[in-house]
Amino acid sequence: MSDSSTHLHTRLQHTGLADFDPQTGAAPVATPAVRSSTVRFKSLADLDRAQRALMAGERSPVYGRGGLDTHAALEQVFCELENGQRTYLVPSGMAAIVLGISAFVKHGDHVIVTDSAYAPVRAYDKGLAQRMGVEISYVKPDVESVRQAIKPNTKVLYMESPGSLLMEMIDTPALAALAREHQLISVLDNTWGSGYAYRPLDLGVQVSVVAGTKYVAGHSDLLLGAVVTNDPALIPALSEVHYAMGYSVSADDAWLCLRGVRTLPIRMRECAANALTLCQFLDTVPEVKRIFHPAFPADSGHALWQRDALGSNGMLAFTLDLPIPAARHFVDTLNLFGIGYSWGGFESLVQYVEPGLVAPHSYWGNDSLPLIRMHTGLENVDDLIGDVRAALDAARKIA
């Protein structure tokens, strides 16, 4: 289903459904998980047609690694979410980042990364890009800083909005326009918005990367990434590198992700409402000095969020004016927030952010206070606030 006259909520319920059997007139509600490593062809002519289509950058199943019906259904869903023309599924969000950059660079090229981006991008830089002779520079995510960083060999501008640690909103339309002005390919990590709360392709970005592990899947039971573009000129490069890197996603994971996306609007709205309510409570706590959540009116990126975003999610962070041992005790004392990485599932999570992890972010401004990052899940928000209140009381005693 691709009728843009219908609301996204409706399209998410009807996109990627199984076709009716031409003989029985029946079809399952849920698209089956089609598992196969081998694709059979009726004739060599059929195989030749499929091969030509694949080489032209089209979605053409020739071998199981490219995915069959279940994968095609999920790719269609990501295109609906992101308003894209083509989706490439990969095994994780990090794999999506690697594909989203690597498809457009070669030895001797330069990439600009806004310093609000997901921290493991720096692991890609050190672990792969440098070995391949690709230089990466990190800059403050504003137009003038990016403009000054552009070199004759710059090929890609890589961004994330909001940023993964401090939820920093950036002026995506202006940065995307700057990239086009200098013939750079713009790539943006849209895991926070996941196509529902934020649509970077509509804001001028050419490639959106998403960790489907998070809100799209929604149940903390799979790893999956997606790279989506609405620029036909970029499809051949993405197709070539996607194939060359050997990326593959299991049909079962694709099926689970399809299941999760059906409830995406409900889950994201509920998580967002819980996060905003928790921010309002934290704003009354004397020890909380800064709250990072773009939907919260006091956040410095709130105006950009109002202009560019379509909604919010359950992510927030805040600083605590307490000694580090007391801040760590706060995290340890929480009962309803599990300690762990990732987010976007049904459960609430908390992370004590190590100072070295947030230090490279210019938005942080050398703040010396401990930083706590939370994801508010689908629990009752009054229970979550009660849990935070009790943990704060315990931390005060330690302090």
Cβ neighbours for 186, distance < 8 A, ≥ 6 positions apart: 156, 157, 159, 175, 176, 179, 180, 204, 205, 206, 207
* Contact predicate 172/205, CB 8 Å: yes
Does 17 score more than 90 pLDDT? no
Q: What is the pLDDT of residue 31?
A: 84
- Alpha-carbon distance of 376 to 384, in angstroms, equals 8
The reply to whether 65 belongs to the active site is yes
Helix (H, G, I), strand (E, B) or coil at 167: coil
179 with 52, same domain?
yes
Q: Tokens for 273, please give them.
A: 């409402």
- The residue among 31 and 207 whose pLDDT is bigger is 207
Packing angle, helices 381-398 and 324-333, rounded to 10: 140
Q: What pLDDT band is residue 23 in, cutting at 50, 70 and 90? A: confident
Q: Which tens digit of pLDDT belongs to each residue from 180-218?
A: 999 999 999 999 999 999 999 999 999 999 999 999 999
146 with 70, same domain?
yes
Q: What pLDDT band is residue 3 in, cutting at 50, 70 and 90? A: low
Cβ neighbours for 350, distance < 8 A, ≥ 6 positions apart: 331, 334, 337, 338, 339, 372, 373, 374, 375
Task: State the residue range of the domain holding 366.
Answer: 264-398
Q: What is the pLDDT of residue 1?
A: 52
Percentage of residues in the chain having pLDDT higher than 90: 84
The reply to whether 126 belongs to the active site is no
Task: Kindly state the helix (H) or strand (E) to which residue 79 belongs, with its residue range.
Answer: helix 69-82
Q: Which tens digit of pLDDT belongs to each residue from 66-120?
A: 889 999 999 999 999 999 999 999 999 999 999 999 999 999 999 999 999 999 9
Q: What is the pLDDT of residue 144?
A: 98
Q: What is the pLDDT of residue 15?
A: 84
The reply to whether 262 belongs to the active site is no
- Model pTM score: 0.94
The answer to whether position 16 is within a domain reads no
Q: Which of 68-72, 223-227, 289-293, 311-315 has the weakest average pLDDT?
A: 68-72
Helix (H, G, I), strand (E, B) or coil at 110: strand
Q: What is the pLDDT of residue 55?
A: 80
Domain tally, the chain: 2
| Cα dihedral 223/170/340/281 (nearest 10) | -130
Percentage of residues in the chain having pLDDT higher than 70: 99
- Alpha-carbon distance of 78 to 88, in angstroms, equals 9
344 with 220, same domain?
no
- CATH number of the domain that 386 lies in? 3.90.1150.10
Q: Which of 59, 63, 65, 180 is catalytic?
A: 65
Q: Which of 11, 86, 115, 118 is catalytic?
A: 118
The answer to whether position 13 is within a domain reads no
The reply to whether 138 belongs to the active site is no
Q: What is the pLDDT of residue 5?
A: 64
- The residue among 328 and 36 whose pLDDT is bigger is 328
Judge residue 152's burial from the number of C-beta atoms within 10 Å of its C-beta, 0-12 exposed, 13-18 middle, 19 or more buried. Answer: exposed
- The residue among 210 and 21 whose pLDDT is bigger is 210
Does 122 score more than 80 pLDDT? yes
- Alpha-carbon distance of 343 to 88, in angstroms, equals 22
Helix (H, G, I), strand (E, B) or coil at 315: strand
Q: Which tens digit of pLDDT belongs to each residue from 132-155?
A: 999 999 999 999 999 999 999 999
- Alpha-carbon distance of 171 to 177, in angstroms, equals 10
Does 260 score more than 60 pLDDT? yes
190 with 205, same domain?
yes
Q: Which residues pair with 114 in a beta bridge?
A: 139
- Alpha-carbon distance of 10 to 4, in angstroms, equals 10
Task: Kindly state the helix (H) or strand (E) to which residue 87 belongs, with its residue range.
Answer: strand 86-90
Does 359 score more than 90 pLDDT? yes
- Alpha-carbon distance of 186 to 200, in angstroms, equals 10
274 with 241, same domain?
no
The answer to whether position 20 is within a domain reads no
Q: How many CB atoms lie within 10 A of CB 306?
A: 12
280 with 179, same domain?
no
Q: Which of 115, 171, 189, 387 is catalytic?
A: 189
- CATH number of the domain that 90 lies in? 3.40.640.10
Q: What is the pLDDT of residue 258?
A: 95
- Alpha-carbon distance of 42 to 275, in angstroms, equals 54
223 with 284, same domain?
no
Does 2 score more than 60 pLDDT? no
Q: What is the pLDDT of residue 11?
A: 87
309 with 194, same domain?
no
- Alpha-carbon distance of 113 to 20, in angstroms, equals 46
Q: Which tens digit of pLDDT belongs to each residue from 274-283?
A: 999 999 999 9
The 3-state secondary structure of 118-161 reads CCCHHHHHHHHHCCCCCEEEEECCCHHHHHHHCCCCEEEEEEEC
141 with 274, same domain?
no
Mean pLDDT of the chain: 94
205 with 69, same domain?
yes
Q: What pLDDT band is residue 358 in, cutting at 50, 70 and 90? A: very high
Mean pLDDT of 118-127: 93
Q: What pLDDT band is residue 28 in, cutting at 50, 70 and 90? A: confident
The answer to whether position 22 is within a domain reads no
328 with 247, same domain?
no
Q: What pLDDT band is residue 392 in, cutting at 50, 70 and 90? A: very high
Which of 227, 243, 261 delimits the end of a domain?
Answer: 261
Which of 227, 261, 295 delimits the end of a domain?
Answer: 261
Q: Which of 86, 214, 267, 290 is catalytic?
A: 214
The answer to whether position 1 is within a domain reads no
